[in-house]
Amino acid sequence: MDAYTIVWSDMMMLRRRFAKYLLTTLLSPLLYLMAFGWGLGRGMSVNGTGYLEFVVPGIIALTAMTTSFNGAGTRLNTDRLFFRSFDECLMAPISSLSLLAGKAIIGVYRGLVSSIAFLLVAMLIAPGIHIGPLFVLSLLLTCLIFSFLGVLAALLASTHEDMATFSSLILLPMTFLGGTFFSLSQLPLALKMALYLLPLTHCSMCLRAAALGGSFPWWSLMGMAAFLLAFSLASMAVLKRLSV
């Protein structure tokens, strides 16, 4: 219930500028789709699948990652360090778990709104995309992972620059290396192993397999669950350190 209160306040804010939010959040994935799907990948295929259809699940993973991270992390960072309204939450008689869950769910629903909006547009361009329970589960897990990562980064950051640095050092490389725009099967083994350390790699693989009907990488789903557990536990530990 307390977690819902935290989310409620964000919903009130988002309601006022929903159209603007949707427009800005859709711009980047649509540009990726145009540049990589239509531009660079026209006429190309990966493992027998047209590149446009191949790249759409990757861009969905990317959209979920960015919007969830920013929805939870950037907002929390601003509330904590700029508006300093986060102190009000720390002083309220609610549990750390509710506070943490509320802040993360903000990222999840923002991530879902943006991903679903992009998916609807993408399905007009690539109608072969299949939306089933595994796809929904993978999308939800992707949003959860990056929401908690955002919360963790925001709680650790001591300046706004720290958040920007985190995005540049962690999210940006993941954007291009996390199996979003290419298949890992084409890479040398050592590099492939290194890329398995990135959560986005597993998110892209699960979403792609669920959307295109390939054999589902269950171990990647387990990997996603492990990342979620690690980020949420780390966030809780940092939050406990911040509050009395």
Residues that bind another protein (CB under 8 A): 2, 5, 8-9, 12-13, 16, 79, 83-85, 87-95, 243-244
- Beta carbon of residue 108, minimum distance to another protein (angstroms, whole number): 19
Give the residue with the Cβ less far from another protein, 95 or 159. 95
Give the residue with the Cβ less far from another protein, 29 or 102. 102
> Which residues 6+ apart lie within 8 Å of 141 measured at CB?
203, 206, 221, 224, 225, 228
Give the residue with the Cβ less far from another protein, 2 or 140. 2
CB atoms within 10 A of CB 237: 11
- Beta carbon of residue 199, minimum distance to another protein (angstroms, whole number): 30
Give the residue with the Cβ less far from another protein, 64 or 157. 157
- Beta carbon of residue 17, minimum distance to another protein (angstroms, whole number): 9
The dihedrals phi and psi of 50, each to the nearest 5 degrees, come to: -55, 140
- Beta carbon of residue 165, minimum distance to another protein (angstroms, whole number): 23
Look up residue 61 and give its two tokens: 């993973």
Q: How far apart are CA 139 and CA 141, in angstroms?
A: 5
Is residue 118 within 8 A of residue 24, CB to CB? The reply is: no
β-strand partners of 45 = 50
